[in-house]
Amino acid sequence: MKLYDMALAPNPRRVRIFLAEKGIEVPRVEVDIQKGENLAPAYLAVNPRGVVPTLVLDDGTILDESIAICRYFEALQPEPNLFGRDALEIARIEAWQRRIEFEGLFNIAAAFRNSRPAFANRAAPGAGPPTPQIPELAERGLLLARGFLDMLEARLAASPFVAGERYTVADISAIVCLDFARWVGLKAEDGHPTLAAWQQAMKARPSTAA
């Protein structure tokens, strides 16, 4: 088993934090997306989509979506449980997980990829056709991401963790999202005191440094 990773990228980091919470170690190979290593023939031979993270199982099977990889390890090692213990909790965690991805990570990524010189003609992830940057998408991403931070501030004022009373994969996605937001100039401490305090509490968990 081998995990193709990038230390700075948010989606691979989700998997690393998840594995650290589980106490699972997997050999890792660093792939530098900013330098285009994910588009090099050697990596495309591993994963033609050109995305990270990619988990290659011992039989050659490939999993290349971060949450799919996390679900795989949850099934292999159910404790500590991070995806829900009963039907209602599973649904709540999934609902928050999707909100974080669509309202948070998606919009922050749009702001980032449509504004960074390193991603000129690579505004979409992976090995698709050249994708020109659209500055208006960066502006829209920032606008929607600010609204996401407002929403998460309100949520964490009412709940100790994103999906309820305990730490789950939704919190992993949220802390990665908040740290990623700093790359586009959005900081929780700027007008979101509850969110900033929660962010610091999450960073105190050893897994967050994975």
Question: What are the strands of the beta sheet with 62-63, ordered from one edge?
Answer: 28-30, 2-5, 54-56, 62-63
pTM (2 d.p.): 0.97
Q: What is the CATH number of domain 87-209?
A: 1.20.1050.10
Res 60: pLDDT: 96
Res 69: pLDDT: 98
Q: What is the CATH number of domain 2-76?
A: 3.40.30.10
Res 118: pLDDT: 92
Q: List the chain domain ranges.
A: 2-76, 87-209
CA distances from 54 to 15, 35, 92 (A): 10, 18, 27
Q: What is the DSSP string of 92-158?
A: HHHHHHHHIIIIIIHHHHHHHHTT-GGGTTB-SSSSSS-B---HHHHHHHHHHHHHHHHHHHHHHHH
Res 24: pLDDT: 98
Q: pLDDT (tens digit, 0 to 9) for every residue of the chain, 210 residues total?
A: 999 999 999 999 999 999 999 999 999 999 999 999 999 999 999 999 999 999 999 999 999 999 999 999 999 999 999 999 999 999 999 999 999 999 999 999 999 999 999 999 999 999 999 999 999 999 999 999 999 999 999 999 999 999 999 999 999 999 999 999 999 999 999 999 999 999 999 999 999 999
